[in-house]
Structures are given as structure tokens and as C-alpha cells.
Amino acid sequence: MTEDLSPVDRAKFAAARRAADLVEDGMRVGLGTGSTAAWLVRCLGEAVAGGKRIRGVPTSRRTAELAREVGLEVVTLDEARWLDLTIDGADEFDADFNLIKGGGGALLHEKIVATASDRMVVIADAGKEVGTLGAFALPVEVIPFGWQTTRALVEETLAGLDVLGRDITIRMNGEAPFVTDEGNHVLDLHLRRIGAPHRLAMALNQLPGVVENGLFLDICDTVVVGHGDGRAELRDLDPGGVQEDRFEIAEPANLFRDLDD
């Protein structure tokens, strides 16, 4: 029930509600992965119930399942070909709207979908805003074959880059390595601070075994920042591009009753 939500979840709900208003009838929309994106999918489900036609391209199996559950038409990216809009969460964002994503393990699909869109909107609570990227561990998707060798190559590469930490762990799912929807593993790079994100992204993606990294640079156009009191602040990169709205968080509709992400 939304009245029992924590301040962080209230912020996520407010951001998702505001971003859902950007989706127009007939749009093809990329659907992100994670707890904040799940709120967005539920909000779009309400819009569909109200008569909007929305075709969604999910970035993970679990997002696809939720989208179908709430009544969205789910299509593949190949079927949609190009998207009007992608809305997704982020683990961190800075003043230039550079992001770290991949905490949910779907960074490869998320980056492909985001770059196949006219516009990318990030929805996040205020705690995700940082002065410099890197406090959140940077996910790097790697193929399973020789992943320990790939990790060694990443460690060697980090030695020459502007980062504060160099610890690397493989993401686990219980007793076994986590497996992405593409059958790959994820290395989490505990860097603490990333001084030159563009250089780091380029260096990582040149390594054999690396599929993609979680730095989303020069991709995001708009950030919607949610607050625990129901405010949602829409920010564009253009100077002065800030709008603020407030949403009442009262008794939820059925679509939100069982949300537990």
C-alpha cells in the first residue's frame, strides 16, 4: 500500500508517475529494469487501462512479465525497430546526466534499447544523484568463458586509469555466478570514484571477454528526480529546464497493491 511506503519508495513512485505522463498515445517505449522501472510499468498499466495504446520493449524477462501482467502490448526491439522514448532507472547520475546502470543485471539490453530511442528519460530518487560517478560498483558484463582471465585484464587496465579503488568481484546468485538474460556473468568494479568515465568506458570495451559496461554516457536526455514527499522534479540538459510537480500518494489502485520490488 502506497501510504505505507518508505520515503525512498515514495520518491520512486513520484518519479515514475511523472515520467509516465511523458508517454503519449501510440508511442513505442523502452521499459527499464529494476525497482523504479517497475513502478513506471505499473503506471503505464494504468494509462493503458484508461485507453492509451502503448507498445513496450522490455529490457529483461522480469520486466516483460510485469508489462504483460498490467496489460501492455509487449514487442521486441526488432519488431519496433526504433523507439520514441525509453524510461529507465539508474544507480547513479551526475550533473551531466552520465549514469551508472546495471545493478539489476540488465545493462546490455538497457544500453541497446536506450540508444535505439529518440529520447532517454531516467527516473530516480534524489539519493542517486552524485557529484562524481563511482560510489556505486560499476557492472561489467563478461562472457563466461575465461571470465577469470577477463577479470585479470580488467584489473591490469584499471591500474592506468583515474579511479580510487580497484577491487573486483563476480556477482553471485546464491552459490553460483549470476547469469544475465544473454547467458553472461557480471563483474562489479568497486572504484569509489571515476575521474574519467569516457576513457574508462572505452578501455573496458576494448578488452577481450568484455561484452558491455554500465557507464551510460551522453545517452540520457532527461532525469526525473522523485522525493519522499511526493514531489517530482523533471530536469532537462538545457539551461533552466526544470519543472516540479507534486503527486498525492493515497490509497493505491489494484495495479500497485502487490508491488514488492
In 197-246, beta strands by DSSP E: 210-213, 215-216, 222-226, 231-236, 242-246
Other CB atoms closer than 10 Å to residue 138's CB: what's the count?
A: 27
Which one from 110, 141, 155, 233 is the annotated catalytic residue?
Answer: 110
Q: Is 110 a catalytic residue?
A: yes
49: part of which helix (H) or strand (E)? Answer: helix 35-49
**116 vs 10: CA distance, rounded Å:** 30
123: part of which helix (H) or strand (E)? Answer: strand 120-125
Other CB atoms closer than 10 Å to residue 232's CB: what's the count?
A: 23
Amino acid identity, residue 201?
A
Instruction: Indicate which residues carry an active-site annotation.
Output: 110
